[in-house]
């Protein structure tokens, strides 16, 4: 295409070109703003404790996992008196810690066979966690939340391209700063938040 033809094409299609380019410019500016916003928000300063493979509302669960008086407690349950129901103690809950210093998740290697006379599980990993106060508020003192990230796509992006929902799984997030909860390269199914670790940050 000759130079004159190109100029003529641009003149004839100026409204179309403007209409096509404006959304792209807006999207570029939006993504740039999002990137800057994430960079400004500081990383979390609190680690989090959570549990998976566990239904805290189940009546006949072999173990109870909770935070009591600022401490992690795992209790081995006994069948109810007079009940013929057998509790399956092989179904152990998986307790995890999100480490704010590495922004990664590790599983606690708890020995559920170590049970004290009061039916509490006794383990070095539990003791290590309980060196610090545990805060059960949903939002950490530095403003992060542990929650499932789902909802409508961003209004601007949705308006330009689609209105689909996004599903990001569980994450620790604050504003546009999102840290997905990943273990072994996979998302953890249905984790239940227990507490933030107040390690004197």
Cα separation values, 43 from 34, 61, 107, 126, 198, Å: 15, 36, 21, 25, 15
Q: What is the mean pLDDT of residues 23-27?
A: 63
Q: Which two tokens stand for residue 168?
A: 């990001």
What is the C-alpha separation between 175 and 177, in angstroms, rounded? 6
Residue in the block written with tokens 């410019």: 25
Cross-strand partners of 184: none
- 99 and 26, same structural domain? no
Residues 19 and 65 both lie in one domain: no
Return the higher-pLDDT residue of 94 and 201: 94
Judgement on whether residues 36 and 54 belong to the same structural domain of the protein: no
Measured over all CA atoms, what is the biggest interatomic distance in the chain, rounded to whole angstroms?
94
User: Is residue 13 located within the same domain as residue 73?
Assistant: no
Q: Are residues 78 and 145 in the same domain?
A: yes
Q: Is the pLDDT of residue 162 over 90?
A: no
Assess contact for 128 and 108: CB atoms under 8 A.
no
Let me know whether 10 and 74 are in one domain: no
Distance of CA 69 to the CA centre of its chain: 24
Residue 138 has what pLDDT?
A: 93
Output 38 or 92, whichever has higher pLDDT. Answer: 92
d(CA 85, CA 60): 8
Number of domains composing the chain: 2
Indicate whether 154 pLDDT > 60.
no
Q: Measured between alpha carbons, how far is 75 from 89 in angstroms, rounded to an integer?
A: 11
Higher pLDDT, 127 or 178: 127
Same domain, 182 and 86: yes
pLDDT of residue 3: 67
Q: Name 12's Cβ contacts closer than 8 Å, sequence gap at least 6.
A: none
pLDDT given for residue 155 in this prediction: 46
Higher-pLDDT residue of 168, 77: 77
pLDDT score of 153? 46
**33 lies in the same domain as 110:** no
Tell whether 108 and 181 lie within a shared domain: yes
Helices and strands in the chain, H and E counts: 4, 12
pLDDT (mean) for 160-185: 76
Domain span holding position 178: 47-197
Q: Which of 74-83, 98-107, 132-141 has the lowest mean pLDDT?
A: 74-83
Residues 108 and 136 in one domain: yes
Q: Which residue would you say has higher pLDDT here, 28 or 158?
A: 28
Task: Name the more confident of 118 and 201.
Answer: 118
Q: Are 183 and 87 in a shared domain?
A: yes
Residue 53 and residue 103 in one domain = yes
Contact between 143 and 201 under an 8 Å Cβ cutoff? The reply is no
């Amino acid at each position: 295409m000759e130079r004159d033809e190109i100029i003529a094409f641009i003149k004839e299609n100026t409204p179309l070109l403007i209409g096509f380019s404006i959304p792209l410019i807006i999207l570029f500016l939006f993504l740039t703003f999002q990137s800057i916003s994430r960079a400004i928000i500081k990383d979390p300063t609190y680690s989090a404790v959570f549990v998976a493979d566990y239904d805290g509302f189940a009546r006949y669960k072999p173990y109870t996992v909770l935070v009591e008086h600022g401490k992690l407690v795992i209790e081995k349950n006994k069948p109810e008196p007079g009940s013929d129901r057998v509790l399956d103690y092989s179904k152990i809950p998986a307790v995890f810690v999100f480490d704010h210093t590495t922004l990664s998740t590790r599983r606690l290697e708890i020995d559920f066979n170590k049970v004290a006379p009061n039916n509490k599980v006794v383990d070095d990993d539990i003791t290590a966690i309980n060196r610090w106060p545990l805060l059960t508020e949903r939002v950490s003192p530095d403003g992060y939340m542990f929650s499932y990230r789902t909802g409508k796509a961003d209004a601007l992006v949705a308006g330009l391209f689609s209105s689909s929902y996004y599903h990001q799984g569980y994450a620790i997030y604050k504003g546009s700063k999102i840290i997905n909860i990943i273990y072994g390269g996979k998302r953890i199914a249905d984790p239940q938040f227990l507490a933030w670790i107040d390690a004197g940050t």
